[in-house]
Structure 1
């Protein structure tokens, strides 16, 4: 897998990362969502440099010229609900993309530190020979990414796969690296080194879904 760790190079991205991590600033849910969206835009821009382009003729009011334009073959899939702001950021740049959505959540067993990933809802167009961008803001264990991709397989075989995350743990990065092909790309803003006993990223930022949309009731 090709891993693109963006915060290794200092940029304005670090400002948005700092604000979503800061325990005071992140309490502003509108600002939190917007910062995730802006990080998605940056990740999308960097990702766009690796895509395939064709030379096309464009006519202006004064003349014509050739421009390198991207082939419009992207399917953007995000994992609900935390993935929505990240999805919007990517969609701001890939505005002609088709869209897919899935709900993947942790179903805890009798041991609260043990869980399975359950995929219950999935809406997806054909993926056959298209560019799949699979977005999940928090790459903790990596199990949600893998479970979602397994659920997407009946929709066709993409020609290329790009994973997009805001913050990941090294364990999750290693897990997706083992489970996706060598030609797959991971675009990630920051990689933290640890997971706690419940599978949350340390230092991380907390629960991205709760911070974006409010606390949920556990069933």
Structure 2
């Protein structure tokens, strides 16, 4: 049995790791500390993660940070025939990688996180409130989202077709973030989100992502096809 501990809760990044745990049916210990609360700067946590950021996954004596890397590690290490978050075929795996890198680079860090850093209701008090930067980042997000719009236009259920993968976890958090920021998403993203939100593991991951609440994970039944 794996000895898994997940540090972090309360953000669109930390929820990715919690959600992946439930999709894979993994039991784990949750340490629901939050960012910018001082909890990531303790000596205990800094020894585990000198970057002092969440989330962080401990798998026995192995530690890994960055939400997308954690989700990819869990997908590669703990996927099974019945619960797989990563494609098996080489070219499908390459396409999955492309989606993951695109979502993290173009939709998240280059667009949405730029908005968060410079919005008055985000981190603008730290990095500077810049309405024009926020507006341009929103425009860039909508331009890049065309890639998702075209992909979903062929009727596929998930980014990789019928198989739900961790790329869908990354995309969903970005789409939800964009809706919260009133950036707007493509029309065919809405039924896609409805399908995703119906997954038991999604709902359990959201509950587990509540900060400062001790979590006793309840494993979901096998996910829908």
> TM-score of the superposition, structure 1-length normalised?
0.36
Higher helix residue share: 2
Structure 1 or 2: more strand by fraction? 1
